[in-house]
Structure 1
Amino acid sequence: MNSESSPEGIPAATIVIFRSAPDGGAPEVLMTVRSRTMTFAGGMAVFPGGRVDPADFELAQTIAGPDLSVDEAAHQIAAIRETLEETGLALGLSGDITADSAAKARVMIEAEGALAPVLAAFGWSLDLDQIVPFARWFPQNEKLSRVYDTRFYLADLGTGEVDVSIDNSENTRLFWTSAQGALDAAERGEIKLIFPTRRNLERLALFANFDEARAQAEAIPVKTIIPQIDDNNDQPMLRIMENAGYPITAELLSTVQRG
């Protein structure tokens, strides 16, 4: 995520990756801690993802159709590409995918910077049914170092035993946690969460499993969430819309972690 912002916002995409908890408890999601040297959200715990690149739009043009715009396809492709590069997980793809081939594909995507050459080299194809549109955040009214227009997706690994590893560039740590566990860790000061990540974790904590998350995501149309500063009270608040599926829609501006 190294492009300068524009008035329209930098297009970005991220995947909230579910897995069944090894102990049978609340489902876990994969989070990464960004390097403190990163301009945006340095040192923050976020979901894997990154900006949408021109090559993502080029590949999207080959699969778009009446039910899938080029813009939406490019965001989904970016989410798949960034997840493979940042974690080593081959989500949203179909074909002969093994731990070994995924590792080799990760090396290739880091070198090529695009997903299309990887698909051709390994004989894989896109399987966008694996990822579910969940949310869209565009904090254009806040004073941020860069403004990203980010689409969030959901995906399910199902199993509790999957190897992941950091990419050693933008991230310093990968970890599995329940959504509530991440919120509790933030309260203890063990991790830091920017406003959109905190709100999404609160929403994810509502679900007992991936199927519940998918059902809510499919029942509530994705709306563009643009946080607004509310100065009508003694202390300013940062608010989001009330009808997008989020249980907590406001936070004191003084406590908000910015990007």
Structure 2
Amino acid sequence: MTSDSAPDGIPAATIIIFRNATDGGPPEVLMTVRSRELRFAGGMAVFPGGRVDPEDFALGEQVAAATGLAPDEAAHQIAAVRETLEETGLALGLVGDITAQSAEAARAMLAENGALAPVLEAFGWQLDLAQITPFARWYPKNERIPRVYDTRFYLADLGTGAVEVSIDQSENTHLFWTTAQGALDAAERGDIKLIFPTRRNLERLALFASHAEAKAQAEAIPVRTIMPQVEERNGTSWLTILADAGYPITGEPLDTVARG
């Protein structure tokens, strides 16, 4: 059910962005609804993210020594930063003279060339990967499915939340802020659709009253690769995950699981 090394998956990174609720209630997270035309998770509500590009790995090699991260991990965190800017317009994991106007211009440049390194050079920004906290890694490996993503999940905190976000007009059709429980409730009403990893992560996120609480748990529980397995329980097939990885619900009847 777990492996420290999960070869052959398509490397991907996704980021769970927190903001403070205006009413003092539970924090909100940013979610996006993917275009129905996409092969993976089309029409599903997910967290911003995408695959790790060769340019991310190249930049990861350069920054690994300075950050103390392994080059592979640095590349995934860089991909999370790049995808956040690309998909939402938010400049997280970056430091420098960052304004709404410069972030918009940087996003436009990123859309043209697809790589983060030229954007950093053009705007005089630097990576600040300390803003990114590793949270989970999911690899739903299946021999019958040739394209499976090996996805690392990260946490980041926007704080006030008084920042505009907008869709990228290509992969996403809608961006929205919601509490984790609010997203689960919306799925129960049929307002949004959730794939298995997103649902399990939202259930875990619903445990926390703040980004600080989520970060503390993420730092206390080592990230291991979660590879869901099918188990038979009283004649019913269940899709299950690790029991000690921080998730309050570790299984779901297979016939209710939404697939990407």
Q: TM-score, normalised by structure 1?
A: 0.96
Contact 1:40/1:145 (<8 A) preserved: no
The structure-2 alpha-carbon separation of the partners of 1:255 and 1:143, relative to structure 1 and needing over 3 Å to count, comes to farther
What is the number of residues matched between the two proteins?
254
Indicate the residue corresponding to 2:165 in structure 1.
164
> How many Å separate the matches in 2 of 1:250 and 1:24?
32
Task: Return 5+ residue gaps in structure 2 as ranges.
Answer: 1-5
Matches of 1:229 and 1:245 in 2, distance apart?
A: 20
**What one-letter code is carried by the residue in structure 1 that aligns with 2:89?**
G
Q: Which residue of 2 aligns with 1:28?
A: 28
Q: Any idea what SS the aligned residue of 1:62 has?
A: helix
Task: Report if the CA contact (8 A) 1:27-1:209 is conserved.
Answer: yes
Which range moved further: 18-27 or 141-150?
141-150
SS at match of 2:200: helix
Q: C-alpha separation between the residues in 2 aligned to 1:9 and 1:215? A: 28
**Mapping for residues 58-137 of structure 1, pairs under 5 Å:** 58-65=58-65, 67-137=68-138
- 2:220 equivalent in structure 1: 219
The aligned counterpart of 2:38 is: 38
* Counterpart-to-counterpart distance in 2, 1:44 and 1:189: 11
**Identical-residue share of aligned pairs (%):** 74
Conserved in 1, the CA contact under 8 Å of 2:142 and 2:148? no
TM-score, structure 2 as length reference: 0.95
SS, match of residue 177 in structure 2:
strand
Give the counterpart letter for 1:136 in structure 2.
R
Q: Does 1:188 align with 2:189?
A: yes
Any idea what SS the aligned residue of 2:84 has?
Answer: helix
List, as ranges, runs of 4+ consecutive aligned residues in structure 1 with deviation greater than 4 Å: 142-145
Q: Does 1:201 align with 2:222?
A: no
Q: Which amino acid aligns with 1:201?
A: L
Structure 1 residue 233 and structure 2 residue 218: aligned? no
1:18 aligns with 2:4: no
CA RMSD of aligned residues (A): 1.3
Deviates more, 1:225-234 or 1:10-19: 225-234
Cα deviation, 1:29-86, whole Å, max 9, x if unaligned, reads: 0000000000000000000000000000110111113831110000000000001000
The runs of 5 or more residues in structure 1 that have no matched partner are 1-5
